Amino acid sequence: MRIAILTLTGQRDKCIDNILADKLRKYGHEVTVRSYIYAGMETVCYEKPDVIIHPMVGGQYKYDFVKQCKEWGIEVIVRRGEAGMCREQFDALDDNRRSLTLGNWDYSPYVDLELVWGLGFANIIHKHGHMQGKNLRSCGAFAFDPYFLPEYKKDDTDRKKTILFATGFSTCDCRSNYCELGIAEDSDYHEEIYAIHRAARDTWISSIKKLVLEHGDQWDFELKVRPGEMPDEYIKELGSIVKIHPQMISSSEVLKHVDVLVHSGSTLAIEAHLLNIPSFDFCNVNPDPLLSMVSPLTYTHEGLEFFLKKVETGLSNINYTVFHKLQDYLYGSIDGKACERAADYIDNHLQMNDIKTNIPNTWPKVVRYHDDPENVHLEKQEGDSRWACICCRTVYWATAGGVTRCPYCGMQIHMTVGDRPQGVLK
């Protein structure tokens, strides 16, 4: 069958989706991996797949996308890129926050199979979400499969020891056009998380400056932002003293060349462990109670400096009790075989279905999101600039600069005034 994997980010997701594609090809399927944001609609209409593998259905645009595909007879499979959460964390959430995790819309009529990491989160989706257990498969920890590839090799050249700071403050540094933000910017929850992330980011920047000044002769310092985060503030404050990696480089590539990881409550701590890299949690912002205990934790510069002075490179410092609990309750198996299991589930599922598609040559250009008449126009108004959506390629009109929502596909786009700002045609 023709399978199109629609990958959400060019960092971790693309690497994992390529592994999954290779596993599916062994079953005889014709598989392509395409960008969801930049080529999702074109992929469906030009390549006419029998099956799409889609990111989590977490926003209205994604919901409408899978709905349209299902109406054309395409088999829709969802692969969750994140692990979700454990029962303890989920039970502590209010209804709005639960909805963000599970999906704000009932997508079950349009999704045939959903692939998740651990059995615990699969049970949460079954009991509280939109998919029944018969349509859920627990595959294991997708994110860690690259580290088990035979061709993966860590850099062992003689070089200066390097500390990597991996950011995690997306709410205060998120690109407005990064698919679906998930949290309404005018909500109390957004304001609460924004304040936490902003304070932590400021502490990081201040601490990194001090470390470079006082320990630059001992260490090299690097920084990597998460997918969807804007690096502008880090470039402004640290660009002259710290190596800042290009945003789309994968974490597995960066970790090959570092000796210590500093994070703020991230699955990167597990990735570092798989490479025998010690890690420290600095200003944790991750609400998961288990993940916050994976690495030694501190909220102060003095605490981080103490950790770094005592660190033993080449040796993981993971909390093994927490590591095993994470596998039991959140991640599923961390053994490099998540994509292999997923491919097997997908192939078995497809063998039981007779798929017949009726896909047109173009995606219907229906105005679905024209809910902001003061800022977005379907025809040019005085003072408007011509905008081209980076996702669906359609054209609409709005003032130059600021944030708009494409009235055709819902993609939020951030525009800066300047020479040919992204997305705008002059």
* pLDDT for residue 419 is more than 60: no
**369 pLDDT tier (thresholds 50, 70, 90):** confident
Model confidence pLDDT, tens digit, residues 202-233: 999 999 999 999 999 999 999 998 876 788 89
pLDDT given for residue 175 in this prediction: 54
State the total domains in the chain: 3
**Per the domain annotation, does 409 fall within a domain?**
yes
Same domain, 171 and 312: yes
Q: Give me the pLDDT at residue 186, please.
A: 61
| Res 393: pLDDT | 76
* Closest to 227 measured CA to CA, from 204, 194, 254: 254
Half-sphere exposure of 223 (CA within 13 A, CB side): 27
Parallel, antiparallel, or unpaired for β 51-54 and 384-388? unpaired
- What residues make up the domain containing 416? 376-425
pLDDT band at 373 (very low <50, low <70, confident <90, very high): low
Looking at the fold, whether 303 and 341 belong to one and the same domain comes out as: no
Query: How many residues comprise the chain?
Result: 426
132, 239: one domain = no
Cβ neighbors of 215 (< 8 A, separation 6 or more) are: 308
Write phi, then psi, for 371 (nearest 5 degrees).
-115, 15
pTM of the model: 0.81
- Residue 94 falls within a domain, yes or no? yes
Residue 136, number of CB atoms within 10 A of its CB: 20
136 and 166 within one domain: no
Domain presence at residue 387: yes
Give the pLDDT score at 180.
37
Tens-place pLDDT, residues 188-202: 766 787 888 999 999
Q: Is residue 40 part of a domain?
A: yes
- Are 193 and 297 found together in one domain? yes
Q: Are 172 and 117 found together in one domain?
A: no
Residues 114 and 212 both lie in one domain: no
Characterize the bridge pairing of strands 297-298 and 395-399: unpaired
The reply to whether 366 falls in a domain is no
DSSP 74-141: -EEEEE-SS----HHHHHTS-HHHHHHHH-SS--GGG-SEEEES-HHHHHHHHHHSS--GGGEEE---
**pLDDT, mean of residues 249-256:** 86
Give mean pLDDT, residues 257-282.
95
Residues 163 and 286 in one domain: yes
CATH number at residue 41: 3.40.50.2000
Tens-digit pLDDT profile for residues 67-108: 999 999 999 999 999 888 888 778 887 787 788 788 888 999
H or E segment to which residue 19 belongs = helix 12-25
Residue 227 shares a structural domain with residue 341: no
Residue 178 included in any domain: yes
pLDDT of 385 reads 86
* Domain shared by 45 and 133, yes or no: yes
In this structure, the answer to whether residues 273 and 295 fall within a common structural domain is yes
145 falls within a domain: no
Average pLDDT over residues 400-417: 75
pLDDT band at 420 (very low <50, low <70, confident <90, very high): very low
Do 277 and 394 reside in the same domain of the chain? no
